Amino acid sequence: MTIFAIRRPHGGCRLAGRFRIFVPGMIAVLFLISASSVAQIPDEQTGNVRSSAARETVQKAENGTWPHVRRVLLLRDYNTRVVTIGTGVLGMAAGLVGTFVLLRKRSLIGDVVGHASLPGIAVAFILVELFFPGHGKSLSGLLAGAALAGFAGIGCITLILRWTRLKEDAALAIVLSVFFGLGMVLFTIIQDLPTGSAAGLNHFIFGAAASMTTRDVQLILYAALAVLGVCVLFFKELGLLCFDDAFAASQGWPTLLLDLLLMGLVVAVTEIGAQSVGLILVVALMVIPAAAARFWVEDLWPMALVSTFLGGLGAYLGVMVSALLPKFAAGAVIVLASGCLFAVSFLAGSRRGVLWRIWEHRRLQIRVGRYDLMRACYEYLESSQGSFSPEVDNTSTKRRIPFEHLLEMRTWPPSRLRRIINRATREGLLNRAEPDLYELTDEGSRAAFLAARNHRLWETYLIRHAEIAASHVDHSADRIEHVLEPGLVRELEQELEKQFPHLAMPSSPHLLKQEGTVKASPTEESLAAKEP
Amino acid sequence: MSSEISSDAVPRLATGDEHPASCPLSIHDMTVAYHRKPVLWDIDYDAPAGRLVAIVGPNGSGKTTLIKASLGLLPTASGNVRFFGKPYAKQRSRVGYVPQRESVDWDFPVSALDVVAMGLYRKIGWCRPVIKKYRRQALHSLERVGMAEYAGRQISQLSGGQQQRVFLARALVQDADVYLMDEPFVGVDAATERAIIALLRELRESGKTALVVHHDLQTVQEYFDDVLLLNMRIIAAGPVSNVFTEENLRQTYGGKLSLLEKVGQRMHLRGGRL
């Protein structure tokens, strides 16, 4: 519903105004709901280490397939509920941050941060194991290490760009691959460590939503809400930074600090997304919803709103599917779900969707074809009979046009002309008298008259006011007249009134023989009314 | 920011009578370099108050650099800049900046009105929303450039000239006393050119100053009061009638102003620099 509200022109501002009040409220409500639902946990469940896929499978066996699906979809199951809420809020935060990342043209930075975090996790694990044996997998420690490594990756890119002449893409590729390589080496070393509790660290690479504990989810939830809050708080400033950083700097905004804030948000989303989606794919959670949102809206607040929504929806759908099919990695499924949302937006997006554009193009083509056909009919009749008026020449013999003559009027292939004629016949503009002989209907006569008249009005205007040579005017008039609307035609008439009074038909400035004026009072709407 | 830093580097020049408070823009001894190649040499310039000043010079002569360095957007190697006798950081609200139109992505999801409102963000302050009062101000500013009916339009749906007028409106909404405009006349339609000129004259009427990077030598005399001829250094500056002479232009553009020689000069310069 919101999407359609946004489609209204000028609706953006009002909606944005409401959104500004709405979002902080929404975050507060989410916060309360999630806090209370997580707080309900009985103690033995808090202690429960893994609410793993195995449990789900057991339930599936007990309940049969359909009840199981229903349980999952309606979030009856406590674990599913917790995981879904956590991942969903994460998806929303990622979608919102992604809006700015995309508009700042820093999409790949998220990927670098993700890959660069890997050695951070490994180092954090080793350090914690060293000082507190057995606690190596505490989430906060690992995430802190990952965040530091992520920032280190960004720092390396900045250094490379600053001190060398390498371009950004090369810097990104180098940092991303070197950090990831380092991470893989460290992971191998960890596997060989005598502590032996390293199992599960691999989850950070590809994500494993189902293996999250309630405490993990709590951490993710609060961090994601904090990210959402910061984004809303600094929305205006981040928007300015993304649109025109030089102007922002000239106004005294600390652009470096704002960029750092944005990078901090990217790092935060990456790290809190590491567990459920995995470091490799978490960039998708940021970029895909934002890119998809652009197909629906043309304004910043609505784009942020749609992106947040799509991010949350993608995460929700992904968690649902992975809860039903536990053998697929949750991260991959979430990204695929977002990908599907992107594909839908790409095709059907109300502002920039491909289907709309194709449809618009097709409509224009049909319109142009009809226009050209009608004008060709008029010009043929005018030149073969000396004059043609829809009111006077109302017998069918005076309205007949042979196919081969129409073909000569323009450079159109016979097959295309046939298609155009067939369409015009269906629309009641033409009748087929004999094979390859057509006659204009009453409506067709008027339409033909109007098409020729618009064309000539426009040509005359071009010659007199745009100083285009008469020999060239036909072509440029051809392209523009198809967008002439009744209002514009009236303006043209006023402009040229002295030369062509009383809605008369001007003579063609470049082809055919000179014609007397034709008295008629056609309506411009008769052409416009034929719009599909 | 960097102008402050550099002003500390030459403290004995940074004070005193060289920067009277009545002077909208006063540049002293400024040198700017990219990768150790100087782009601007020893610029000394005091802009006259209440006049329209054209900044004229060939491509690569440092016109944009002059503006950006004055605003602290580029680091200066030496020298200092004062607006009304004080560093830019203290006079931001009195200085309006219109960047080149190509400097931003016009596909950005934002409406004309929102862009204009960005000129007020400083006044609105951190983390506060753009309330109705400010939106009205922005709309009024759009009205002044004849763009009120396009307020809700996404900026990619505007023509080049209309986009330029949106940028102007963003600077106008600040109600500054001196405006720095970077090529506002490039790639605009005749209607926009007329609108901008009318606006510049209106600004002058109300005692404001505008420094405008300008490309079209034909219209300098018609549009501007003063001219600043620039080619890595200041060739000449002053009222158009005194300064805009063939001799000065020849010096600025190198050789005679015939197209061939200009092209030859440019190619030579390019070859020499690379």
- CA separation for the pair A24, A288 (Å, rounded): 24
* Higher pLDDT among residues A301 and A59, named by residue: A301
- CA separation for the pair B90, B92 (Å, rounded): 6
- CA separation for the pair A285, A18 (Å, rounded): 26
Q: Which residue of B has its CA nearest to A162?
A: B35
Structural contact between residues A135 and A128, judged by C-beta atoms closer than 8 angstroms: yes
Average pLDDT, chain A: 79
- The pLDDT of residue A23: 55
A253 touches chain B (CB under 8 A): yes
List the single residue in B71, B118, B128 with the smallest CB-CB distance to A240: B118
A294 touches chain B (CB under 8 A): yes
Q: How far is B153 from chain A (nearest CA, A)?
A: 8
List the single residue in B72, B89, B121 with the smallest CB-CB distance to A240: B121
Alpha carbon separation from A159 to A71, A166, A168, A249, B125 (Å, rounded): 52, 11, 11, 21, 32
Helix (H, G, I), strand (E, B) or coil at A402: strand
What does the pLDDT look like over A61-115, one tens digit per residue?
445 577 777 777 777 777 778 888 888 999 999 999 999 999 999 999 999 999 9
- CA separation for the pair A111, A281 (Å, rounded): 8
Q: How does residue A32 score in pLDDT terms, banded at 50, 70 and 90?
A: low
Helix (H, G, I), strand (E, B) or coil at A467: coil
A247 touches chain B (CB under 8 A): yes
Greatest CA span in chain A, whole angstroms? Answer: 103
Closest to A381 (Cα-Cα) out of A333, A440, A324, A334: A440
- CA separation for the pair A348, A340 (Å, rounded): 12
- CA separation for the pair A337, A330 (Å, rounded): 10
Q: Domain A360-517: give its CATH architecture.
A: Orthogonal Bundle (1.10)
Q: How far is A147 from chain B (nearest CA, A)?
A: 26
What residue ranges do the domains of chain A occupy?
A: 12-38+77-348, 360-517
Alpha carbon separation from A349 to A290, A344, B50 (Å, rounded): 13, 7, 51
Q: How does residue A44 score in pLDDT terms, banded at 50, 70 and 90?
A: very low
The pair phi, psi for residue B35, each rounded to 5°, is 50, 45
Structural contact between residues B246 and B268, judged by C-beta atoms closer than 8 angstroms: no
Position of tokens 């504990």? A213
Q: How far is B127 from chain A (nearest CA, A)?
A: 5
| Alpha-helical segments (H) within A386-469 | 403-409, 414-426, 442-465
Taking residue A356's Cβ as centre, other Cβ atoms within 10 Å add up to 15
- The pLDDT of residue A16: 46
A103 touches chain B (CB under 8 A): yes
- The pLDDT of residue B20: 75
What does the pLDDT look like over A241-261, one tens digit per residue?
999 999 999 999 999 999 999
Q: What is B13-75 written as a DSSP string?
A: TSSGGGS-TT-S-EEEEEEEEETTEEEEEEEEEEPPTT-EEEEE--TTSSHHHHHHHHTTSS-
B118 touches chain A (CB under 8 A): yes
Alpha carbon separation from A455 to A377, A466, A529 (Å, rounded): 13, 15, 18
Q: How far is B164 from chain A (nearest CA, A)?
A: 14
The mean per-residue pLDDT over the stretch A34-44 comes to 46
Helix (H) or strand (E) holding B232: none
The mean per-residue pLDDT over the stretch A345-374 comes to 89
Task: Determine, for residues B109 and A242 on separate chains, whether the beta-carbon distance falls below 8 Å.
Answer: no
Alpha carbon separation from B69 to A291, A379, A493, B62, B258 (Å, rounded): 36, 64, 53, 10, 31
Give how far the C-alpha of residue A245 lies from the chain's centroid of Cα atoms, to the nearest Å.
24
Taking contacts as CB-CB distances below 8 angstroms, the residues of chain B near A237 are 121, 126-127
Task: Determine, for residues A13 and B113 on separate chains, whether the beta-carbon distance falls below 8 Å.
Answer: yes
- CA separation for the pair B233, B214 (Å, rounded): 17
Closest to B208 (Cα-Cα) out of B168, B156, B247, B248: B168
The mean per-residue pLDDT over the stretch A427-446 comes to 87
Q: Which residue of B has its CA nearest to A8?
A: B152
Task: Determine, for residues B104 and A13 on separate chains, whether the beta-carbon distance falls below 8 Å.
Answer: no
Greatest CA span in chain B, whole angstroms? Answer: 56
Closest to A450 (Cα-Cα) out of A364, A346, A522: A522
Task: Determine, for residues B152 and A297 on separate chains, whether the beta-carbon distance falls below 8 Å.
Answer: no
- CA separation for the pair A300, A243 (Å, rounded): 10
Paired sense of beta strands A437-440 and A430-434, if any: antiparallel
Task: Determine, for residues A300 and B114 on separate chains, whether the beta-carbon distance falls below 8 Å.
Answer: yes
For the cut 50, the answer to whether the pLDDT of residue A531 exceeds it is no
- The pLDDT of residue A154: 94
- CA separation for the pair A72, A23 (Å, rounded): 28
Tell me if A12-38+77-348 shares its fold with A360-517.
no
Task: Determine, for residues A12 and B152 on separate chains, whether the beta-carbon distance falls below 8 Å.
Answer: yes
- CA separation for the pair A364, A372 (Å, rounded): 12
Residues 6+ apart with CB under 8 A from B119: A251, B96, B138, B141, B169, B170, B171, B172, B173, B174
- The pLDDT of residue A140: 85
Position of tokens 């901008």? B196
Burial label, B122 (beta-carbon count in 10 A; 0-12, 13-18, 19+): middle
Position of tokens 């990078």? A263
Q: What is A349-371 written as a DSSP string?
A: -TTT-HHHHHHHHHHHHHHHHHH
Answer whether CATH 1.10.3470.10 is correct for domain A12-38+77-348. yes
Question: Which of A202-206, A262-266, A440-444, B116-120 has the least mean pLDDT?
Answer: A202-206
Burial label, A163 (beta-carbon count in 10 A; 0-12, 13-18, 19+): exposed
List the single residue in B104, B124, B154 with the smallest CB-CB distance to A299: B154
Q: How does residue A437 score in pLDDT terms, banded at 50, 70 and 90?
A: confident
Position of tokens 């005359």? A460
Taking contacts as CB-CB distances below 8 angstroms, the residues of chain A near B115 are 243
Structural contact between residues A482 and A472, judged by C-beta atoms closer than 8 angstroms: no
Cα dihedral across residues B107, B111, B114, B118: positive or negative: positive
- CA separation for the pair A153, A159 (Å, rounded): 10
Q: Which residue of B has its CA nearest to A230?
A: B127
Neighbouring-strand partners of residue B111: B154
Task: Determine, for residues B89 and A252 on separate chains, whether the beta-carbon distance falls below 8 Å.
Answer: yes
Find which of B74, B110, B134, B179 to mutate to test the A interface (most A CBs within 10 Å of its CB): B110
Taking contacts as CB-CB distances below 8 angstroms, the residues of chain A near B121 are 236-237, 240, 251, 253
For the cut 60, the answer to whether the pLDDT of residue A424 exceeds it is yes
Task: Determine, for residues B110 and A13 on separate chains, whether the beta-carbon distance falls below 8 Å.
Answer: no
* A:B CB pairs within 8 Å: 79
Taking contacts as CB-CB distances below 8 angstroms, the residues of chain A near B114 are 299-300
Q: How far is A530 from chain B (nearest CA, A)?
A: 27
Task: Determine, for residues A246 and B99 on separate chains, whether the beta-carbon distance falls below 8 Å.
Answer: yes
What does the pLDDT look like over A498-519, one tens digit per residue?
665 545 566 665 644 333 333 3
What does the pLDDT look like over A160-178, one tens digit per residue?
998 888 998 999 999 999 9
Burial B71-95 (b: 16+ CB within 10 A, else e): bbbbebbbbbbbbbbebbeebbebb
B152 touches chain A (CB under 8 A): yes
Residues 6+ apart with CB under 8 A from B267: none
Task: Determine, for residues A237 and B121 on separate chains, whether the beta-carbon distance falls below 8 Å.
Answer: yes
Task: Determine, for residues A298 and B170 on separate chains, whether the beta-carbon distance falls below 8 Å.
Answer: no
Alpha carbon separation from A304 to A82, A94, A95, A363 (Å, rounded): 25, 11, 8, 32
Task: Give the Cα-Cα-Cα angle A469, A471, A472 (nearest 5 degrees).
Answer: 70
A9 touches chain B (CB under 8 A): yes
| Alpha-helical segments (H) within chain B | 2-9, 63-70, 88-91, 112-117, 121-124, 132-144, 160-172, 190-205, 217-223, 240-243, 246-253, 259-273
- The pLDDT of residue A477: 59
Task: Determine, for residues B121 and A244 on separate chains, whether the beta-carbon distance falls below 8 Å.
Answer: no
B128 touches chain A (CB under 8 A): yes
A109 touches chain B (CB under 8 A): no
- The pLDDT of residue A111: 92
Task: Determine, for residues B109 and A240 on separate chains, whether the beta-carbon distance falls below 8 Å.
Answer: no
The structure tokens listed for A480 are 């523009």
Taking contacts as CB-CB distances below 8 angstroms, the residues of chain B near A236 are 121, 124, 127-130
- The pLDDT of residue B171: 94
For the cut 50, the answer to whether the pLDDT of residue A60 exceeds it is no
- The pLDDT of residue A73: 73
pLDDT tens by residue, chain B, 274 residues: 344 444 443 433 444 455 678 899 999 999 898 776 778 888 999 999 999 999 999 888 889 999 999 999 998 988 999 999 999 999 999 999 999 999 999 999 999 999 999 999 999 999 999 999 999 999 999 999 999 999 999 999 999 999 999 999 999 999 999 999 999 999 888 888 999 999 999 999 999 999 999 988 889 999 999 999 998 889 999 999 999 988 888 888 875 445 545 555 555 555 444 3
For the cut 50, the answer to whether the pLDDT of residue A529 exceeds it is no
For the cut 50, the answer to whether the pLDDT of residue A262 exceeds it is yes
ipTM of the complex: 0.85
Query: pLDDT > 90: what percent of chain A?
Result: 34
- The pLDDT of residue B211: 96
- CA separation for the pair A72, A79 (Å, rounded): 10
- CA separation for the pair A24, A14 (Å, rounded): 17
- The pLDDT of residue B266: 58
Q: How far is A104 from chain B (nearest CA, A)?
A: 10
The pair phi, psi for residue A270, each rounded to 5°, is -60, -45
Task: Determine, for residues A251 and B68 on separate chains, whether the beta-carbon distance falls below 8 Å.
Answer: no
What does the pLDDT look like over A187-212, one tens digit per residue?
988 888 776 566 678 888 888 776 77
Helix (H, G, I), strand (E, B) or coil at A119: helix
pTM over 0.90: no
B126 touches chain A (CB under 8 A): yes
Q: Which residue of A has its CA nearest to B105?
A: A243
- The pLDDT of residue A512: 46
At position A258, the amino acid (one-letter code) is L
- The pLDDT of residue B226: 94
Taking residue B164's Cβ as centre, other Cβ atoms within 10 Å add up to 27
Residues 6+ apart with CB under 8 A from A230: A261, A265
- CA separation for the pair A295, A6 (Å, rounded): 12
List the single residue in A233, A240, A250 with the smallest CB-CB distance to B71: A250
Structural contact between residues B14 and B180, judged by C-beta atoms closer than 8 angstroms: no
A8 touches chain B (CB under 8 A): no
